[in-house]
């Protein structure tokens, strides 16, 4: 291994471990462990949300996608960004006001029952694991390619680190690792963008002309349709991306880490600025890759496109910049997987252990022990799965996570907050139908069933790569249909109005601006 790469890697690991050591001394209560005492400022939480959200798929994948697919690759990043409008307008403030630590708290504030809590914990767990596997598998390949580390060693190092951050420092260390990642990512990407842009004399026209010369497509490179030839795929993908974030548990639980809804809004606004600026830079880097390296050269080195950013860094800044970009990629992965572990841990220890198994009567000490054991178990399960899945292409699990979240958790959260006729039966049927429809549609789709290189060598039953356009309506129909079938369970108008006031203003909740929420 190149000593520069090794030094950067050690520097990142040591820095994050110092953060974890500092956080460990402050994570002695459940309030601190699960939500960092709600002491983060809006801007800090915005940086942590960006750190939680921008995965390796965004940092490395989008640059490669823009380089190979042009416009279609750029549309991915637009979908990711616009999804924050949905989160802010519809979900963020009510989730903050209704929940303490988990999404189970949010739904149970209207429909308190052990079944409902179990269902939310189960969905959170499934989504977190589904999202964690591709991140870990990608980390294995990435570290092998960049640092010449063995796949298994890479996955185990990342798996061990993410578990260590969570068991020792809980949400405090996870948040600060994510904040550090955002600072590194933004500064590194900004530096790389400046260097790349300087190669074109800061002239967009030169960049565009050189892009046309760097691809066999010529000026057609800028036309849409290089990834999906059917516009319905576009529509379906955009729908899943824009609604998916509003159902991602690891993003939504970050809304509990600030003290009031003013800070919730500031968190999301800060994150949209960070994510938006980041995607503008990835666009320039993607185009810069085509112009400086050429599509064919990139294809020769790496057919997935994931190495576009590191190769570009090497081309414009030598081994030192490559080492820096590799360190950023490493930090990106550990920050995202740590966020996923804390989300799954909270679902298991708070919802299942504390509320369901112990009926809300376990002590702080027991809850913390359960949380730490859950984190170890989740870290172990996901690491073992990632080790087993080395030979399978699991990148589609990233978009699948958005589809599952948009089809199951989002409809239930949305209808719980806004629909007075919604019932627990509707929540149950909506969640189950959305979840299983997404899983089946992907399993019967071309990612899995493909005569050329699929897991199952047959024609796909569902022709869409991104079946969100089918599964999201199924989730909603399940929730609405279930509410009509189980309409006897519906609340009185008075009860719903009281809930609505709490969800949308915080009155009665004792949340905004005071500390009455300290506990469960």
Partner 1 sequence: MEKQVLAIIRKKNRRAGIFLTIALSLYFLIPLSLMFITDVVNRPSFFYGIPWAWLLAFLQIPLTWFFCGVYHAQAKSLDEKLEGMEKEGGP
Q: Which of 393, 450, 463, 500 touches partner 1 (CB under 8 A)? A: 500
Give CA–CA dist 417/398, Å, rounded. 27
85 lies in the binding site for partner 1 (CB under 8 A): yes
Cα 442 from Cα 194, distance rounded (Å): 40
Q: Is 301 in the site for partner 1 (CB under 8 A)?
A: no
Identify residues 443-472 at the interface with partner 1 (CB under 8 A).
Answer: none
Is residue 144 involved in binding partner 1 (CB under 8 A)? no
Using the minimum distance from each CB to partner 1, give the nearer residue, 325 or 417. 417
Does position 82 bind partner 1 by CB under 8 A?
Answer: yes
Out of 19, 86, 164, 274, the residue judged to bind partner 1 by CB under 8 A:
86
> Which of 193, 245, 272, 407 lies at the binding interface for partner 1 (CB under 8 A)?
272
Return the closest-CA partner of residue 289 out of 250, 316, 252, 321: 316
Look up tokens 């950023």; give the residue. Answer: 328
Q: Which string of x and - marks every residue 212-251 that binds partner 1 (by CB under 8 A)?
A: ----------xxxx-----xx-xx--x---x---------
Check: CB of residue 321 under 8 Å from CB of residue 195. Answer: yes
Binding region for partner 1 (CB under 8 A) out of 71-79, 95-103, 425-433, 460-468: 71-79
DSSP notation for 442-471: HHTSTTTB-TTT-SB-S--SS--SSTHHHH
Residues 406-435 that bind partner 1 (CB under 8 A): 418
Q: Which of 81, 162, 291, 333 binds partner 1 (CB under 8 A)?
A: 81
Residue 399: name the closest of 181, 80, 98 by CA. Answer: 80
Per-residue binding letters, 91-130, with partner 1 (x by CB under 8 A) = --x-------------------------------------
Q: Does 202 interact with partner 1 (rule: CB under 8 A)?
A: no
Note whether 118 and 431 are within 8 A (CB): no
CA distances from 187 to 183, 338, 462 (A): 6, 21, 42
What minimum distance in Å lies between the beta carbon of 211 and partner 1? 10
Question: Between vectors from CA 265 to CA 262 and to CA 266, what angle results, nearest 5°?
Answer: 85
CB of residue 223 to partner 1, shortest distance in Å: 6
For residue 291, the tally of other CB atoms under 10 A from its CB is 23
By the rule CB under 8 A, 84 interacts with partner 1: yes
Q: Please tell me whether residue 276 binds partner 1 under the rule CB under 8 A.
A: yes
Phi, psi of 151 (to 5 degrees): -55, -50
Calpha distance 332→175 (Å, rounded):
13
Would you count residue 377 as binding partner 1 (CB under 8 A)? no
Max CA pair span of the chain: 69
Whether the CA torsion 228, 234, 238, 239 is positive or negative: it is: negative
* Cβ distance to partner 1 smaller for residue 488 or 516: 516
* CB contact at 8 A, 135 and 374: no
Q: Residue numbers of the site for partner 1 (CB under 8 A)?
A: 71, 74-75, 78, 81-82, 84-86, 88-90, 93, 204-205, 208, 222-225, 231-232, 234-235, 238, 242, 261-262, 265-266, 268-269, 272-273, 276, 279-280, 418, 497, 500-501, 504-505, 507
């Amino acid at each position: 291994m190149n000593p520069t790469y090794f030094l950067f890697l050690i520097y990142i690991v040591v820095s994050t471990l110092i953060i974890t050591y500092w956080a460990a001394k402050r994570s002695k209560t459940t309030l601190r462990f699960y939500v960092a005492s709600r002491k983060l400022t809006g801007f800090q939480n915005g940086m942590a949300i960006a750190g939680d959200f921008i995965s390796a798929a965004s940092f490395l994948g989008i640059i490669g996608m823009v380089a190979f697919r042009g416009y279609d690759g750029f549309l991915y990043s637009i979908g990711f960004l616009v999804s924050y409008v949905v989160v802010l307008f519809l979900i963020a403030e009510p989730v903050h006001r209704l929940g303490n630590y988990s999404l189970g708290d949010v739904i149970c504030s209207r429909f308190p029952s052990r079944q409902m809590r179990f269902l939310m914990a189960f969905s959170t767990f499934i989504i977190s694991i589904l999202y964690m596997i591709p991140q870990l598998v990608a980390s294995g390949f990435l570290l092998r390619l960049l640092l010449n580390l063995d796949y298994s060693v890479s996955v185990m190092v990342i798996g061990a680190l993410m578990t260590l951050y969570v068991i020792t420092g809980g949400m405090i260390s996870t948040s600060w690792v994510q904040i550090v990642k955002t600072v590194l990512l933004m500064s590194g990407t900004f530096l790389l963008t400046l260097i790349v842009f300087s190669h074109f004399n800061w002239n967009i026209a030169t960049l565009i002309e050189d892009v046309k010369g760097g691809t066999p497509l010529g000026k057609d490179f800028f036309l849409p349709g290089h990834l999906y030839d059917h516009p319905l795929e576009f529509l379906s993908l955009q729908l899943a991306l824009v609604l998916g974030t509003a159902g991602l548990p690891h993003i939504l639980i970050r809304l509990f880490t600030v003290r009031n809804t003013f800070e919730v809004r500031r968190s999301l606004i800060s994150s949209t600025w960070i994510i938006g600026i980041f995607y503008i830079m990835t666009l320039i880097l993607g185009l810069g890759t085509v112009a400086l390296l050429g599509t064919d050269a990139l294809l020769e080195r790496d057919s997935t496109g994931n190495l576009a950013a590191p190769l570009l860094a090497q081309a414009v800044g030598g081994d030192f910049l490559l080492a820096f970009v590799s360190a950023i990629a490493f930090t990106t992965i550990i920050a995202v997987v740590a966020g996923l572990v804390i989300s799954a841990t909270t679902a298991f220890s708070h919802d299942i252990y504390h509320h369901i198994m112990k009926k809300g009567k376990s002590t702080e000490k027991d809850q913390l022990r359960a949380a730490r054991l859950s984190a170890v178990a989740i870290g172990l399960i996901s690491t073992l799965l990632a080790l087993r899945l080395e030979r399978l292409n699991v990148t589609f699990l990233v978009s699948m996570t958005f589809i599952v979240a948009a089809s199951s958790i989002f409809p239930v959260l949305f209808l719980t907050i806004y629909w007075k006729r919604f019932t627990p039966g509707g929540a149950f049927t909506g969640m189950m139908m959305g979840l299983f429809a997404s899983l089946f549609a992907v399993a019967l789709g071309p990612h899995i069933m493909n005569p050329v290189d699929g897991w199952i060598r047959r024609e796909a039953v569902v022709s869409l790569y991104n079946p969100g356009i089918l599964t999201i309506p199924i989730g909603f129909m399940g929730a609405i249909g279930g509410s009509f079938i189980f309409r006897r369970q519906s609340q009185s108008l008075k009860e719903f109005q009281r809930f609505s006031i709490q969800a949308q203003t915080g009155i009665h909740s004792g949340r905004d601006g005071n500390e009455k929420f300290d506990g469960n």
